[in-house]
Amino acid sequence: MGIRSVLARPFAASVARQTKKWSSQPVRCQKDVFHALIEAGKNTLFGRDHDFKAIKNYEDFKIRVPVRDYESFKPYITRVLEGKPDILWKGKPAYFAKTSEPSISPLLRIPCQIILMVPAMRCSVMFMKPGTHLFWMGG
């Protein structure tokens, strides 16, 4: 067994314990995450444009942040691509995912923040079979 596997086991066990803890109260946890995301985004351009400071619950969010397509986000994404910080999320994105939607544009660039991906990566540990390699941990 390699060093990564040895180190991954206690990490996976810790993540499993934490996940079981929050999954026993999903509604409360979703509300906590919702409020943390609104708080973190309120000083971004997007947060100011959509009055995140006034958002107290999901109903407020639905009123202030309409569903939209990529083209509607383009003015924000253009500013992010120019290197401006605090546009869609605080700071600058770690990287841009590239995808395409032929009916919209030949290439779509989607700003990605590592901090927003960490919870999803941690949750994936819960569903791993023993011996599975953690590609995002270099294993």
pLDDT in tens, 26-79: 888 889 889 999 999 999 999 999 999 999 999 999 999 999 988 899 999 999
81 with 116, same domain? yes
Q: Are strands 105-112 and 95-101 parallel, antiparallel or unpaired?
A: antiparallel
Structural domain contains residue 97: yes
The continuous run of DSSP H or E covering 13 comes out as: helix 3-23
Number of domains in the chain: 2
139 pLDDT more than 60: no
99 with 119, same domain? yes
pLDDT tier at 121, thresholds 50, 70, 90: low
Structural domain contains residue 84: yes
62 with 76, same domain? no
Q: Which domain holds residue 116?
A: 69-128
Structural domain contains residue 48: yes
By C-alpha distance, which of 70, 50, 71 is closest to 61? 50
